Structure 1
């Protein structure tokens, strides 16, 4: 499965996109992936405080990290990091995603969300060119749910050198959660 396929999977799993056509989802996914890569290669280094905190692990949710914009900082959830390594070990994927890589990807992903809060987020919406409403000659551009997540995953991948695919990690963990719900 390619990174583009995984990005389409993520968009399709996002509420409101379940019935969107494949062509639209692939176009949005490609734009968001390219935007994340571009953001990673053109952005200046970023210093946002990272705080290690407990939590983030719930029966049906794994939150590795969270960007808090009010006082820019990233919360890195230690309980979830431990749970993720246990899941990966049980699935035989722990060598592909060692703890330091998972942590670095989570931090880079949240740094992308910080960057997407300003002009970069508006530029992503502009490039996605999704029309939410048209009234005569007036056109209101809409938000594409999940596109910022795809861009943040792509950003993290390229900040980490491009070899590892955070979308693959997300898909692996999502499948694990789905299996535990069944």
Structure 2
């Protein structure tokens, strides 16, 4: 789970979950000149796919360490050997950001770690099974067309969007972890993290 570099705004929560997913895709290499509406369509498809996934067990080894703030990460999955590394310093900062912004209704105590683990569990799931091909089909992007033959194409960043949506759903979060990672990035960069407006909280 990456802590995305995001410019601090007066109210990060004013951007909805799909909006943050579009931003993630737009900031991903190969998408610099994509049509914003196409990115939004992909974001919606990846979000829906992740939210609909049945719960998956994390089969990778789980380790905890510090150093996530320096790397800009809450957690990461590596495949050789299959390991999920949770960064306790970034998770602790995320919990402080939740309290400072008044977002505890969205991210209950302990949910940051749980969401990070759930997010990486989806990466494990997509890496080792047929789910990655299913995600490609859900996105509807074609790498090649020859008559009726269509080869589903890879959409960089879509797996991240799906993993965030899955974590939001299985952990019962009020908002996507994407919002929280943006706030953590702003805090790590030394920017203030003012609480969300009442209107923003009511809308979500």
TM-score, L = length of structure 2: 0.72
Q: Deviations over 1:105-126 (max 9, x none)?
A: 1111101111111210111112
Q: Write the mapping of 1:17-32 to structure 2, written as runs, cut at 5 A.
A: 17-32=31-46
Name the CA distance, whole Å, in 2 between partners of 1:94 and 1:50.
27
Name the CA distance, whole Å, in 2 between partners of 1:17 and 1:175.
23
Q: Is the 8 A contact 1:85 1:94 kept in 2?
A: no
Q: Tell me the SS of whatever aligns to 2:110.
A: helix
Following TM superposition, by how much is the alpha carbon of 1:77 offset from its aligned partner in structure 2, in angstroms?
1.2
Q: Deviations over 1:7-51 (max 9, x none)?
A: 111111212212211221111001100110111xx2454444321
Name the CA distance, whole Å, in 1 between partners of 2:34 and 2:52.
26
Match of 2:61 in 1: 49
Name the CA distance, whole Å, in 2 between partners of 1:94 and 1:162.
10
Q: Deviations over 1:67-112 (max 9, x none)?
A: 12223231111222234345556x5356454661211111111011
Name the CA distance, whole Å, in 2 between partners of 1:177 and 1:143.
31
**Change over 3 Å in CA distance of 1:99–1:16 after alignment to 2:** farther
Following TM superposition, by how much is the alpha carbon of 1:176 offset from its aligned partner in structure 2, in angstroms?
4.2
State the aligned residue count: 174
Aligned-residue CA RMSD (Å):
2.6
**Change over 3 Å in CA distance of 1:54–1:171 after alignment to 2:** closer
More contact order relative to length (CA 8 Å, sep ≥ 6): 2
Following TM superposition, by how much is the alpha carbon of 1:147 offset from its aligned partner in structure 2, in angstroms?
0.2
**Can you give the 5+ residue segments of structure 2 that lack an aligned partner in the other structure?**
1-14, 192-204
Name the CA distance, whole Å, in 2 between partners of 1:87 and 1:154.
20
Match of 1:102 in 2: 112
Q: Is the 8 A contact 2:107 2:173 kept in 1?
A: no
TM-score, L = length of structure 1: 0.80
